[in-house]
Amino acid sequence: MLTDHFRPQSFNGIDDIVIVGGGLAGLFCALKLAPRPVTILAAAPIGHGASSAWAQGGIAAAMSNGDTFEKHVADTVAAGAGIVDEKMTRMMVAEGPARIHDLLEYGVPFDRDLEGKLLLSREAAHSERRIVRVKGDMAGKAIMEALIAAVRRTPSIRVLEGYVVEELVREGRFISGVVARPDAGQSKTRVSFPARAVVLCSGGVGHLFAVTTNPWEACGQGVGMAARAGAIIADPEFVQFHPTAINIGKDPAPLATEALRGDGAILVNSAGRRFMLDIHPDGELAPRDVVSRGVFAEVNAGRGAFLDCTRAVGKHFPEMFPTVYASCMAAGIDPVTQPIPVAPAVHYHMGGVLTDGQGRTSIDGLWAAGEVTSTGVHGANRLASNSLLEAVVFAARIAENIKGTLPAPKLAAWGDDAGENDDPVTVEDSPPFKVLRGLMSECVGVVRTRESLTRAIREIAELERANTRLRFANIVTTAKLITVAALQRTESRGGHFRADCPTERPEWQRRTYLTLAQAERLASDVAETAPA
């Protein structure tokens, strides 16, 4: 029995729309809703707990003379390994240039040439140069800084930082608000936020795994909360590993951006042998899942993997890729003259809360945008730099849909009941969470098998039985959904690779749809079966 199901503390406040998460999708949606009253609840100071701020590559948009929407759609479909929703993708790609111009109006300093035109670069699996960047590898940081400044000067947007949302409140078929814990989740009392519309922009699942490029806030709470409220979850088994996290023992792992390989950097092992050309004709620019498995194999074999930028970038490294350069130099590696040690790390979740083209979930009153969702545009393997594009396109569409569905603001008072002492702990530093992270990396990582997934399900069940915390229940729910879906999908496709089922199977060329009740039945069957 969970101990923190209690009524929350009273505050003197009112809300119309509550946005959960202060990343790119949340901030962009709030700006698009203005002058509608909006409250953003962010677990960390906005810009600090969001994967968006760490994005190095940029935003993909078909804006060059030689590029077309059709080419961008085709590249997305090819990367997505047969299960991309083409209708949703066409819509996203078509609206991309308009959203880039929105970001420019908000003050994002995208790179330009001497004539003032946007500079476009190429990344893996893109057939054209269509990545809009900022100073090489600083797009995420620059975009977030510009949006934060715009939010701060918009009087209709209230930002409450340090509020960890733990529960979606459901009344009948509607989500009617959220319950959050202040003080970065450390308060002994909770606060209720009734709302006419809740927009879930809580980020991804990277910190469910021991090696990730994501901040700790990206630990799957949003997916778990939505699933526990009854939302349909789509494609949870598809987890993208970035092949070139800098392997220096840091958590989260710093990233060596895809753009380095786009500019000609190569992958070699400790013997200096370039190994990716033996695996895929596109070498280092093969889809991320292919490159990740290639790097994983070299590391596992004891040969190590290194990103050699010495010829392709060389002395220009400090000004072209300042973020990566700083990370390397802090670890005693000079990327101008030395190869960078790399390893695969969880980077992005293609699965998440199922939404339609307007960002609506399967529960009335709940919309969602960004990495917490599964819109279908990424399929089994996200195309590089489509994530920020998806976030802004669907955030804008949610704003329009809410304005049309709920045309007039109607403010509701915050909850008026006293909270109880729950003696909160930092779940993210707790021993059970560390056990879960190790288990997910070992058993549900780059390479999976029936045996490893079955073990993970059994051990997740043990963690659930011992748990008394609502926040950890959200997190472990997401781990269970990912693992059950991975066990069910008896093939390899995109970011999901089964060593015991190493090929794609035509009967599995479809998306996965899963409720928590279904996942629990399947997990129970596995947990009750004696190990072989």
* Percentage of the chain exceeding pLDDT 70: 91
pLDDT for residue 320 is more than 70 = yes
**Pair (247, 339) in one structural domain:** yes
Three-class SS state of 325: helix
Asked whether the whole model's pTM tops 0.85, one would answer yes
Residue 416's pLDDT is 43
Residue 413's pLDDT is 62
Our measurement of the distance from residue 103's CA atom to the centroid of its chain's CA atoms, rounded to an integer in Å, reads 20
State the DSSP H helix or E strand holding residue 162, giving kind and residue range, or none if neither.
none
Q: Which structural domain, as residue segments, surrounds residue 336? A: 242-345
As given in the structure block, the two tokens for residue 176 are 């009617």
Considering just the CA atoms, what is the radius of gyration of the chain in Å?
22
Say which CATH number the domain at 469 has: 1.20.58.100
Domain tally for the chain? 2
Bridge-based pairing of strands 366-368 and 197-200 is: parallel
Residue 51's pLDDT is 67
Cβ(197)–Cβ(367) under 8 Å? Answer: yes
Buried (b) or exposed (e) across 40-53, using 16+ Cβ within 10 A? bbbbbebbebbbbb
User: Is 263 inside any structural domain?
Assistant: yes
Mean pLDDT of 152-167: 94
CB atoms within 10 A of CB 402: 24
Mean pLDDT of 223-232: 98
Greatest pairwise CA separation for the chain in angstroms: 68
Residue 468's pLDDT is 86
Residue 172's pLDDT is 94
Name which of 8-22, 165-179, 220-234, 350-364 the model is least confident about. 8-22
pLDDT for residue 175 is more than 70 = yes
Reply yes or no: is the peptide bond before residue 252 cis, omega within 30 of 0.
Answer: yes
Residue 338's pLDDT is 98
Which among 107, 88, 161, 152 is positioned nearest to 357, based on CA atoms?
88
d(CA 134, CA 111): 5
- pLDDT level of residue 531 (50, 70, 90 thresholds): low
Residue 50's pLDDT is 66
Which among 338, 336, 342 is positioned nearest to 303, based on CA atoms?
342
Q: What are the pLDDT digits (tens) for 435-447?
A: 999 999 999 999 9
φ, ψ (nearest 5 deg) of residue 274: -80, 110
- For 216, residues 6+ apart whose C-beta sits below 8 A from its C-beta are 49, 207, 252, 428
Alpha helix (H) residue ranges in 189-287? 221-228, 258-262
First to last CA, the chain: 31
Which among 126, 226, 237 is positioned nearest to 510, based on CA atoms?
237
Say which CATH number the domain at 335 has: 3.90.700.10
Three-class SS state of 483: helix
d(CA 258, CA 260): 5
Picking from 345, 380, 402, the residue at the C-terminal end of a domain is 345
User: Is 431 inside any structural domain?
Assistant: yes
Is the C-alpha dihedral spanning 97, 99, 105, 107 positive or negative? Answer: negative
User: Is 458 inside any structural domain?
Assistant: yes
Residue 288's pLDDT is 80
As given in the structure block, the two tokens for residue 126 are 């893109």
User: Is 295 inside any structural domain?
Assistant: yes
Active-site residues, by number, are: 288
User: Is 218 inside any structural domain?
Assistant: no
pLDDT for residue 163 is more than 90 = yes
pLDDT for residue 123 is more than 90 = no
Three-class SS state of 515: coil
As given in the structure block, the two tokens for residue 258 are 């895809």
Picking from 318, 345, 372, the residue at the C-terminal end of a domain is 345
β-partners of residue 368 are 200
User: Is 134 inside any structural domain?
Assistant: no
Cβ(25)–Cβ(226) under 8 Å? Answer: no
Picking from 327, 345, 363, the residue at the C-terminal end of a domain is 345
Residue 259's pLDDT is 84
E strands, 120-265, are 120-121, 131-132, 157-161, 164-171, 174-181, 191-194, 197-200, 233-234, 239-246
d(CA 169, CA 183): 21
Helices 86-105 and 69-79: angle between axes, nearest 10 degrees: 120
Decide which of 46 and 53 is more confident. 46
pLDDT for residue 419 is more than 60 = no
φ, ψ (nearest 5 deg) of residue 13: -150, 170
φ, ψ (nearest 5 deg) of residue 416: -120, 25
Q: What are the pLDDT digits (tens) for 453-477?
A: 999 999 999 999 999 889 999 999 9
Mean pLDDT of the chain: 91
Q: What are the pLDDT digits (tens) for 264-301?
A: 999 999 999 999 999 999 999 887 888 999 999 999 99
User: Is 148 inside any structural domain?
Assistant: no
Our measurement of the distance from residue 481's CA atom to the centroid of its chain's CA atoms, rounded to an integer in Å, reads 16
Mean pLDDT of 69-79: 96
pLDDT for residue 55 is more than 70 = no
d(CA 438, CA 77): 33
Q: What are the pLDDT digits (tens) for 36-50?
A: 999 999 998 887 756
- pLDDT level of residue 174 (50, 70, 90 thresholds): very high
State the DSSP H helix or E strand holding residue 434, giving kind and residue range, or none if neither.
helix 431-443
pLDDT for residue 199 is more than 90 = yes
Our measurement of the distance from residue 341's CA atom to the centroid of its chain's CA atoms, rounded to an integer in Å, reads 24
Mean pLDDT of 313-324: 94
User: Is 461 inside any structural domain?
Assistant: yes
pLDDT for residue 253 is more than 90 = yes
Mean pLDDT of 322-350: 96
Mean pLDDT of 126-152: 89
* Measured CA angle at 147 (ends 143, 151), to 5 deg: 170
Which among 499, 503, 425, 431 is positioned nearest to 469, based on CA atoms?
425
428 phi-psi bin (left φ>0, alpha ψ -120 to 50, beta other):
alpha
pLDDT for residue 521 is more than 70 = yes
